[in-house]
Structure 1
């Protein structure tokens, strides 16, 4: 592009409303630009860019529909800031792809795992003093690489993950692979398999050339965070939705009353009650709720913006909007009003024992830690006379409530920051019941009563 780019005012909905119909540009970098195409009814975002390894021609891709009403997050549309984020990600992926191919045949998950298996076999053979095959190799061939028919063992197809290029690896690739593993796989075998794959991918990184390291500097963090997110999602499978963990609304109300009583008795000053109310209202994981900020509680819109389960799982802007009632907003108000927007929404007091004293005193306020709900939860469920209820029962109940209220499975999955496959796998019984209710509502009388004329024959 030889002409100087003339940048337009497209950063706010108000500024875009004053523009003429047509295409307007904003610079992302020297050779990448965010485009806004204004139409008669609405505007759309798109991006164009130039790769350094495949010629001087510009490439172009759609980004999404513009939110031309206001500058707030809204499902199905993108603000300027969200469009910039997605456009930059698109450009980065394309440039990494082009550069990786220019550097030679790009390594894949398959090549990384095969190399790791050879190294493990060699190491185990040295230890045994004879040639042996490692258990890791057996697991990875069966559940990642695939294997031909051997004796009484049937042939196994390779997982789609095996063909993914390392420079293009995403956390969702790892999550999808995990979700596709057989349900009957023992939890210990499952964890060893995950550890094997993680080790194989991590071992591949030092072997990548200096050029490839430059192309994909986020690879180690993708592997690390991807398997972190898997451990969070494992809760969905370990805590399968047993009937006694799907609570009626009245039982949830009893738990919330008990939480308020335990909060008062143990001096939580409302902190315990608020976080349990949020878990019940959203069906979110404790790990998500702990990361919420004050700005995530949108009082006027009566919704909570839930952070996704680590990278790539949270929808637009990394968060999922969940509508809640006035009663929930009212409970959260003390944590919202007068506090900085970037402060943690849920905090609690930590205690410190004074020097040469047996007395514990309040030390400072801070966000909840990973296991801090365990102790008060035991008191809450005992008070509520629900001794088998676990905190995850609030999540199970929220998912089932959505299914019973005939929400689409895709919408239930998005609201709860999980996959349709997980919902179908672990809540099939409730899905079947909901579908039967829908079908029953469509039933009409067909057989005429004795002495009546059939419908349409007057």
Structure 2
């Protein structure tokens, strides 16, 4: 007891004792600032997850950071809502780990030497939740074409001026994340080489070795993008969309109507939510199909063509480990096809239909 109080006094002497809440709020502020710097609007995804599942837990939030144990973290994970998807739990645990490790670094002088180990041990349960088999979410090529055709129809009907169609087409052709595509510039279209230079994602830690990922696309995609290239500077955003504002309509008793205000780059995946549902309705596909299915489909398509896993991972700006973890069935199918192609007949063909018979033993 005396040693515990002495330790508490030594920690307090170094400054205000941090809590889980203060550490997490510091991390949220940093994530929100990065989100805004990248052109995002509102709160970051990490903000929403941590506010809902950490800051709302008053007992956990009030815990003094240096007293945190692996058992307390495991208890927090086991108390998460039962309806949370495994992928959501993994993202939440990754956010929590980043926040807590940041706190360890910022308050190292006040923290016990084994705190980082406690954090790692406590959050392992959440990280090890069963991975989603994403190859099951991939769509047949025929459905991809239906989505693109429907996007063209919705684009024309709702006067998108080709903006919606081009976004959906490029998503389908590259399998890139929305956050990458909204940063494409005019110069990233290398028409002569039939490829797009897709900006690297900002996921992961540290500085990436490359700024762009070369992705081959068909000549049909290049032709569809030409109107977005005409008479524009190389550094301008490639994919744009109209924004609207409400104003009173004198011809309709002053009721509000939406009018175009300005045209600029896409800034958030949520901007695609409403038109995406209209596209699915037009294509006759279930409303449960999400835009990310276009990425899954691109990855599975390349795997089924027997492209090396490392190459598929590089083209989609992810790791071979992630591909192997989430698209195992597609890899097995491709390897099975390759193995089947290597099978050759081994039994010699016979020119007669007479099978040799063993001589019968005498007597």
Q: TM-score, normalised by structure 2?
A: 0.64
SS of 2:290's equivalent in the other structure is coil
Q: Which residue of 1 aligns with 2:289?
A: 389
C-alpha displacement of 1:127 = 6.6
Aligned Cα root-mean-square deviation (Å)? 3.6
C-alpha separation between the residues in 2 aligned to 1:410 and 1:186? 25
State whether structure 2 residue 340 is matched by structure 1 residue 449.
Answer: no
Alignment of 1:348-387 (within 5 A): 348-354=241-247, 358-370=256-268, 371-387=270-286
C-alpha separation between the residues in 1 aligned to 2:90 and 2:313? 23
Q: Matched residue pairs, number?
A: 265
C-alpha displacement of 1:242 = 5.2
Q: Which has the higher contact order (CA 8 A, sep 6+)?
A: 2
CA contact (8 A) 1:400 1:427 kept: yes
2:158 maps to which of 258, 266, 276 = 266
CA contact (8 A) 1:262 1:379 kept: yes
Q: Which residue of 1 aligns with 2:56?
A: none
Would you tell me which structure has more helix in proportion to its own residues?
2
CA pair 185-274 structure 1, distance change in 2 beyond 3 A: closer
1:286 maps to which of 172, 178, 184 = 178
C-alpha separation between the residues in 1 aligned to 2:274 and 2:63? 47
Q: Structure 2: which 5+ runs fail to align? A: 1-16, 23-58, 78-83, 110-126, 249-253, 353-363
C-alpha separation between the residues in 1 aligned to 2:132 and 2:243? 29
C-alpha separation between the residues in 1 aligned to 2:63 and 2:193? 65
Q: Which residue of 2 aligns with 1:411?
A: 311
Q: Structure 1: which 5+ runs fail to align? A: 1-117, 144-183, 210-233, 453-458
SS of 1:340's equivalent in the other structure is coil
CA pair 368-126 structure 1, distance change in 2 beyond 3 A: closer
CA contact (8 A) 1:354 1:360 kept: yes
Q: Which residue of 1 aligns with 2:199?
A: 307
CA pair 443-133 structure 1, distance change in 2 beyond 3 A: same
C-alpha separation between the residues in 2 aligned to 1:186 and 1:301? 40
CA pair 437-360 structure 1, distance change in 2 beyond 3 A: same
Q: Which residue of 2 aligns with 1:326?
A: 219
Q: TM-score, normalised by structure 1?
A: 0.52
CA contact (8 A) 1:264 1:270 kept: yes
